[in-house]
Structure 1
Amino acid sequence: MRIYVTGYGVISSVGENSEENLLALRSEKTGIKQGKKTYTERFKVGEIHWSNDELVQRFNLTQHASRTAILGMIAAKEAFNGHLLDPEIKTGLISGTSVGGMDVSEIAYKDFLSGESDDLNVYKNHPSGTTSEQIAKELGIDGYVNTISTACSSAANSIMLGARMLLSGQLDRAVVGGTDGLSQFTIAGFRSLMIFDEEWCRPFDETRKGINLGEGAGFLVLETEETIKKTGKKPLAILAGWGNASDAYHQTASSPEGYGATLAMKSALSVAGLKPDDIDYINAHGTATPNNDLSESHGIKTVFGSSIPPFSSTKSYTGHTLAASGGIEAVFAILALNKGLLLPNLNFKQAIEETGLVPVKSYSEGNDIKHILSNSFGFGGNNSTIILSKV
């Protein structure tokens, strides 16, 4: 049974919908700039420069919620646009997040300490599951709602779970992806790991020092062939394969040899029934940390040998959006798939000495692209890969 993508939506620092994101990718325009908020102003981040209230008004949302939920609502609404709810079509939502409603809790905690407020009910907006419930409510989905929180692989794992639930007949249609908003907690957490780059990040470059954080959301709508016959929706891509592996090498680092990455990519190829030579482009996880990029490079070399397809990281556009990255990059992959795009790895100058791999350095379109592999790797060695194919 084939799983089709019949809708997609995205918001990031380079655009508030898929069309604007595509324009930024084509023009090689980054969204990474000096932060504007009190807790981001010292750093280069992929920040969306609308307040929560402005986003609610701008996108006609029905709920005031945490930033993570609001960004998720925006991307999910774009993806679900034109899809009608039908009691005969079992529709669910699976959303990945790592931050949840932390931005709301941070404000409430400060107000509580200062004596400005003693209303601790606001903490009910913090749990990760609450953000998913709020996104589902915005879409009118009141059946199956679930949350995945596996750090930076969350959205990819949400896509994977949605596909498996469609194949098992538990759902007919699934809205899947991820969302994360920037918060003081996020900034402080990654600062403690000492993997921030004070300059513009450089994925897969020998001089890479670390990440630029970002925020955003990306969602897909998945349907089976039988559901498409009922909905009449046009397939935009095929979700051909997926794989997850946990190497459990370290709490925050990937194995230097890329064991988990290798297993995830091989598993996805097996599910898709494809050979490594069938992949035409890799959207790499590529966080620009010394550990990740070396580990992923070794994994790519192990899987693809001497015939490595064009690859690049798009995190130098958006920043690392954590749990949302797999959803945002799945949308980028579909755009690349349907328009024959090879997306550049911005800021690359010098190959990593140990591997010598050179990513795509300049934008091009009109390429013959049938299959794209997209990697998303999270803390604890939770490695996930999806493969999207042309219809």
Structure 2
Amino acid sequence: MLKQKIAITGFASVSALGEHEPDIWQKYLSNQSNIIAVDFDKQEYLVVRFPNDVKENLARFTLANSKYKNLDSSVIAAMYTAEKAIAQTGWKNTAEIGVNIGSSRGATHLFEKYHEDFLINKTAQTLVSPTTTLGNIATWVAHHIKSESIAISHSITCSTSLQAIANAAAWLQSGMSTQFVVGGSEAPLTAFTLAQMRALKIYAQKSTSIYPCQALNFSKKYNSMVLGEGAATACLELGEKENALAYITGIGYATESLEHNTSISTNGICFQKAMRMALKGFNPANVDAIVMHAPGTIKGDLAEYEAVKSVFGNTIPFLTSNKWKIGHTFGASGILSLELALLMIRNNTYIKVPYIQSTIPNRDIKNVLINAVGFGGNAVSILISKH
């Protein structure tokens, strides 16, 4: 448990579910997956894309400032969601807002475009370096919201955005900052990035199922990860707040020794340690649900489930995931899982994975645990509570 709970006072996202909370919630209530088949450089991949209205709004946002036209779409989405999240808070002095927003892959589209141009012309364009460095996500967000405070970017692969929350919590509890914007943004849908995932043999193949990504199906015989694009931003501040959406009450993290570049242990040791740290001083029986990382891979899903069984024993909370619906958004996935947790708490409704047999608990949703892990075995667990 944290020394002092942290209020989430603003939240905004863009994903396959849209960008407006009522629409996002209605789509969570639906059993429909947003996975589609798309050709990338003459190869078909299952992916999850932004809906057209989100694309149009992001395009308008980009055109509204001439300086933004040379930025990667991951940076645009981060600025867009940060502006919307801050608008909910009532914060007046944006100069003092700390920023910690990261990405697993960074400026994917832009970097590949510039590199292709270099191979053809043998020269690099002027803005290649400043617009493709990972740090430009946080610095451009700080520029857009007119912050003069700390601006941090990082890549901790798929746990990036939950790592940002852990970092912001340290700044807030130390007194070095009073307001923080955190999040993750990812635009990974390129032929090269998709080919990398396929080369790892973890990517979903063409499927006749209406649910190609089988996240949380612990008996599946094939890997079924699917990539999606998305971004989300949360506003954090210490203590009780009248406008709090929920509170962060526990944070845990751990890194385990590697046997392989992409692996974690069979029993999910890093998950076990992260969850136990997040729940320190908190009765695990009071956790109502866990939003699992569960990317849809055989070993990854099972390792996390084994970790949950180790931590919770015979009182396993309700388990859910959103990757079957919105895909794996890499560095943004953790904070988009946080969004699902927030919505379940606020609507007091459990969201089931439609192809999994599960029983809806007969209890209100007050406490939800969110997990994320990335390449390198770096797990983060965040406990959020209604009060």
TM-score (norm: length of structure 2): 0.89
| Letter matched to residue 15 of structure 1 | G
Give 1:133 shift: 1.1
Alignment of 1:18 onto 2:32: no
Distance 1:268 1:251 in 2: 26
| Letter matched to residue 349 of structure 2 | L
Distance 1:118 1:247, change over 3 A: closer
Residue equivalent to 1:43? 45
Distance 1:338 1:40, change over 3 A: farther
**1:154-196 CA-partner distances (Å, limit 9, x unpaired):** 0011011111110110110111111111243421221221100
Distance 1:189 1:108 in 2: 19
Give 1:130 shift: 0.7
- 2:201 is paired with a residue whose SS is coil
Residue equivalent to 2:342? 334
Residue equivalent to 1:351? none
Q: Which moved more, 1:54-63 or 1:249-258?
A: 54-63
Residue equivalent to 1:381? 377
Task: Give matches, 1:288-367, under 5 Å.
Answer: 288-348=296-356, 359=358
Residue equivalent to 2:275? 265
Distance 1:125 1:311, change over 3 A: same
Distance 1:384 1:88 in 2: 28
Alignment of 1:161 onto 2:163: no
- 2:147 is paired with a residue whose SS is coil
- 2:279 is paired with a residue whose SS is helix
The one of 147, 153, 158 equivalent to 1:152 is: 158
Asked if structure 1 preserves the Cα contact closer than 8 Å seen for 2:189 and 2:228, the reply is no
Distance 1:41 1:70, change over 3 A: farther
Distance 2:10 2:291 in 1: 20
Task: Give matches, 1:1-391, under 5 Å.
Answer: 1-35=4-38, 38-39=40-41, 42-49=44-51, 55-57=58-60, 62=65, 63-64=68-69, 65-83=71-89, 86-87=92-93, 90-115=96-121, 118-184=124-190, 185-198=192-205, 199=207, 200-205=212-217, 206-207=219-220, 208-225=222-239, 228=241, 234-249=243-258, 250-270=260-280, 273-348=281-356, 359=358, 368-391=364-387
Asked if structure 1 preserves the Cα contact closer than 8 Å seen for 2:162 and 2:372, the reply is yes
Asked if structure 1 preserves the Cα contact closer than 8 Å seen for 2:8 and 2:245, the reply is yes
Distance 1:133 1:41 in 2: 35
5+ residue gaps, structure 1: 349-357
Residue equivalent to 1:353? none
Distance 1:366 1:334 in 2: 19
Distance 2:44 2:284 in 1: 42
Asked if structure 2 preserves the Cα contact closer than 8 Å seen for 1:314 and 1:343, the reply is no
Distance 2:374 2:124 in 1: 36
Distance 1:88 1:311, change over 3 A: closer
Distance 1:346 1:72, change over 3 A: farther
TM-score (norm: length of structure 1): 0.88
Q: Share of identical aligned residues, percent?
A: 28
Give 1:54 shift: 6.2
Distance 1:108 1:375, change over 3 A: same
- 1:119 is paired with a residue whose SS is coil
User: RMSD of aligned C-alpha atoms?
Assistant: 2.4
Q: Which moved more, 1:282-291 or 1:108-117?
A: 108-117
Q: Which moved more, 1:255-264 or 1:201-210?
A: 201-210
Distance 2:11 2:42 in 1: 29
Distance 1:124 1:307 in 2: 50
Q: Which moved more, 1:301-310 or 1:15-24?
A: 15-24
| Letter matched to residue 268 of structure 2 | G
Distance 2:382 2:333 in 1: 13
Give 1:18 shift: 2.9
**1:339-382 CA-partner distances (Å, limit 9, x unpaired):** 1121122433xxxxxxxxx556xxx7995011000000111110
Q: Which moved more, 1:55-64 or 1:241-250?
A: 55-64
Give 1:85 shift: 5.1
Q: How many residues align?
A: 371
**1:267-299 CA-partner distances (Å, limit 9, x unpaired):** 0001xx311101001100111101111100100
Distance 2:57 2:14 in 1: 14
- 1:152 is paired with a residue whose SS is coil
| Letter matched to residue 339 of structure 2 | V
Q: Which moved more, 1:61-70 or 1:110-119?
A: 110-119
